[in-house]
Structure 1
Amino acid sequence: MPNVHVAIIGAGGVGKAFISQLAGYATRNPSASLATILISRSSKALVSRDYSPLNLNSWSQDLASAAATAPLAYPTEALEFLKAAPGPVILVDNTSDESLAKSYPLFLSNGIHIVTPNKKGFSSDIGLWKDIYAAAANGGNPKGGYVFHEATVGAGLPVLSTLKELVETGDKIEKIEGIFSGTMSFLFNSFAPLDGNNGGKGFAACVKEAQQLGYTEPDPRDDLNGLDVARKLTILARLSGLEVASPTSFPIQSLIPGPLESAKSADEFLEGLGAFDGDMTKIKEEAEAKGAVVRYVGSLNVETKEVKVGLQTFDKGSSIAGLKGSDNIISFYTERYGGNPLIVQGAGAGADVTAMGVLGDLIKVLQRLK
């Protein structure tokens, strides 16, 4: 088998972790015959014009040296470079770039395989979702490339592969429910712990703590608006057979107080958030009075076609209430599993586990190329 060529777009946190894991995998599995021919950031790139392998041990230094060039133009220049490779090509998109995701059908229809944690291609307009799979080998196109995106939901957790196996083996998905955001998991485990004692911290203080510890986006509003969870629910809904038009086509409960939506900066937002602590405290205390806790969850019901994201209360003995730290938990209620759901639980965020999910998808492509 000729070399399998790997082109990596995005070398930030997840990208760095992925390259490190890929180097380790290639060392352990020399028969995989991997040759990385492109490592690209937004402003610089390493491009192997003769398709010989780049050095994965010195790539960072090389990218900072005179060996680096301007990134290839997408999609045309990049596509022509990858099409000319003397063997199969796997494009690894470690970005969250929507414009790049929109070019997936073009790459796939030209036989380029894609693995990615980028949610944009699979959770935006449903037309793009359909175009991606129409162009893909695992969507029915015999001349297309394979596409896998396990890490778009739950990072390295086997969420999508579990769902696909349930569906493909004939099980009937009834409901999916869970905590899909490490940020929201940490935030509500701090604000509304099971024992009810959070040291007297208000919601704003918990948000600030989450930001300081690196759990939130630089601007916490990007987490609190619920859109990230909605994107993950959109992907799960579509894989369950629901044609969800977009991640804004169903109810999403934003935790951003109306007056603060237009705050000019994250600092301004955080400074004003404390004035609304009373609203969140009331919700928490109402739950506690029922022997429950409040959590930020996503859920979908296949039978009623209902998809929603927002606050819900859970009995303190439930698996969702008992989640720790920043873990994710996804419960699959199906015909076979009855009232006891199949549960996938664990770290659902972080560069290393996300990169693991991407590398796992790359290995899936390799297995299909043998």
Structure 2
Amino acid sequence: MSSVNQIYIAVLGAGGVGRHFLSQLSVLSHKFPNISLVLISRSTKSLRASHRTTPLSLETWEKDLNESTSPALTVTQTLKFLGELPDKRVLVDNTSSQDVADSYPAFLKQGISVVTPNKKAFSSTMDLWTSIQESSYRPYAPYLSYGLMYHESSVGAGLPIISTLTDLIATGDTVRRIEGVFSGTLSYLFNNFAPADGSAKGGTWSDEVRKAKEAGFTEPDPRDDLNGVDVARKLVILARMVGVPVEGTGSFPVQSLIPAELERVGSAEAFMERLGEFDKRMDEVRNEAVREGKVVRFVGRVDVEAKALKVGLEKLDKAHPIAGLEGSDNIVSFYTERYVDNPLVVRGAGAGGAVTAMGVTADLIKVIQRVS
């Protein structure tokens, strides 16, 4: 197959999500034989194809990368490497790097498409958001040979949240409100701490956090989940998509579940050791909801008409769709001009390497179909 028909793929990040993605890419290559994996780079080392007609092996990539003595590529080196290849190039960024996110406009302007779950690219400064939008392919300006931009997994892992909202907007609907549970970790915690059916009372808050950590549902440092910033980033992305020019996560109320007394505790271990000292506070939050016949959940909301965002604890009727979540499921409800009383609801697993990678792979398929 001639190089003109090849689609050259560079992958940054070969850990949790990256490893699952490369496994899925191996399966995908049987359907799209014109895929050429030319670069894998992680924090300490990289693996590059020696020639564009000899792609990296999707069967032995992990062994080959481990044996590589080449250092990790900088963003500038990655851009140069891809820039020297023929057209139809894709950067798959599975990292959470701000530096890589800041470079998206440069890749896009060189005609390199970008697929990523990296939330920082779309939730940091408005300047970066605007630059990414202006540097992405625009059908009304085909004379600009910019790359395509897809980021489904930046909100809700593999759930079709970004694509659903994109379709609503593209078909002329007016989005009035978005609400939901946007964190698989916090969903899991509250579904166990404050069960909606009342069949079993959850354990203490610190015990539930500890169990979630041991089960791998939290970040290595649970404070990265409990501070609410991850949820806030996702709200910023959705708000900007519907035209709310929110400046960043610091411009609206974001409730942290980290006790103020523990904000400066040095290590995750020290934090976990002391968290039990504050169980009574969370017990009271749960008990107050029970007395009102409600349940407590960690909710994110975007009021489009008021241009207001909010992240934090809410008491909800047991019949509310959010109250009935199970496990680590996410749920996002879109209230629009078309979906007024009965919102369009997207629900399902919202965390995990495999489902996040699925969203990335699905986005890659969209790029392949558009550029082939």
TM-score bracket, shorter-length normalisation? over 0.9
The answer for the alignment partner of 1:122 in structure 2 is 122
The answer for the alignment partner of 2:174 in structure 1 is 172
Aligned residue for 1:193, secondary structure, equals coil
C-alpha RMSD over aligned residues:
1.3
* Aligned ranges 1:135-214 → 2 under 5 Å: 135-138=135-138, 142-199=144-201, 201-214=203-216
The answer for the alignment partner of 1:105 in structure 2 is 105
Post-superposition CA distance 1:100-129 (Å, at most 9, x none): 100111111111110000001000011100
Is 1:348 the equivalent of 2:350?
yes
The answer for the alignment partner of 2:30 in structure 1 is 27
Name whichever of 158-167 and 266-275 sits farther off. Answer: 266-275
Tell me the distance in 1 between the aligned counterparts of 2:16 and 2:239: 28
Aligned residue for 2:250, secondary structure, equals coil
The CA deviation at 1:69 is: 1.2
The answer for the alignment partner of 2:246 in structure 1 is 244
The CA deviation at 1:87 is: 3.2
The CA deviation at 1:84 is: 0.9
For this pair of structures, how many residues does the alignment match?
A: 366
The answer for the alignment partner of 1:365 in structure 2 is 367
The CA deviation at 1:138 is: 3.9
The answer for the alignment partner of 2:278 in structure 1 is 276
Tell me the distance in 2 between the aligned counterparts of 1:290 and 1:276: 23
* Aligned ranges 1:85-104 → 2 under 5 Å: 85-104=85-104
The answer for the alignment partner of 1:18 in structure 2 is 21
Distance 1:135 1:121, change over 3 A: same
8 A Cα contact 2:195 2:202, kept in partner: no
Tell me the distance in 2 between the aligned counterparts of 1:73 and 1:264: 31
Tell me the distance in 1 between the aligned counterparts of 2:32 and 2:73: 29
Is 1:2 the equivalent of 2:32?
no
In structure 1, stretches of 5+ residues that fail to align are none
The CA deviation at 1:195 is: 2.9
TM-score by length of 1: 0.96
Tell me the distance in 2 between the aligned counterparts of 1:102 and 1:44: 21
Aligned residue for 2:327, secondary structure, equals coil
Distance 1:312 1:140, change over 3 A: farther
8 A Cα contact 1:6 1:92, kept in partner: yes
The answer for the alignment partner of 2:335 in structure 1 is 333
TM-score by length of 2: 0.96
8 A Cα contact 1:191 1:198, kept in partner: no
The CA deviation at 1:200 is: 5.5
Post-superposition CA distance 1:290-311 (Å, at most 9, x none): 1110000100100111100000
The CA deviation at 1:274 is: 1.1
8 A Cα contact 2:45 2:73, kept in partner: no
Tell me the distance in 1 between the aligned counterparts of 2:332 and 2:69: 42
2:332 partner amino acid: I
8 A Cα contact 2:91 2:114, kept in partner: yes
Tell me the distance in 2 between the aligned counterparts of 1:338 and 1:55: 50
Tell me the distance in 1 between the aligned counterparts of 2:201 and 2:305: 42
The CA deviation at 1:49 is: 3.4
8 A Cα contact 1:62 1:68, kept in partner: no
8 A Cα contact 1:292 1:316, kept in partner: yes
Post-superposition CA distance 1:219-255 (Å, at most 9, x none): 1110000000000000000011100101221100000
1:62 partner amino acid: D
1:36 partner amino acid: L
8 A Cα contact 2:179 2:301, kept in partner: yes
| Percent of aligned pairs with the same amino acid | 52
Name whichever of 48-57 and 342-351 sits farther off. Answer: 48-57
Tell me the distance in 2 between the aligned counterparts of 1:106 and 1:200: 49
8 A Cα contact 1:138 1:147, kept in partner: no
2:95 partner amino acid: T
Tell me the distance in 2 between the aligned counterparts of 1:200 and 1:239: 37
In structure 2, stretches of 5+ residues that fail to align are none
Tell me the distance in 2 between the aligned counterparts of 1:249 and 1:200: 34
Aligned residue for 1:166, secondary structure, equals helix
Tell me the distance in 2 between the aligned counterparts of 1:133 and 1:317: 39
Task: Choose the corresponding residue for 1:287, options 286, 289, 293.
Answer: 289
Tell me the distance in 2 between the aligned counterparts of 1:107 and 1:288: 52
1:41 partner amino acid: R
1:281 partner amino acid: D
Tell me the distance in 1 between the aligned counterparts of 2:222 and 2:360: 26
8 A Cα contact 1:133 1:140, kept in partner: no
The CA deviation at 1:199 is: 4.8
Post-superposition CA distance 1:130-175 (Å, at most 9, x none): 0111111048662210010000001110000000110111111010
The CA deviation at 1:198 is: 4.4
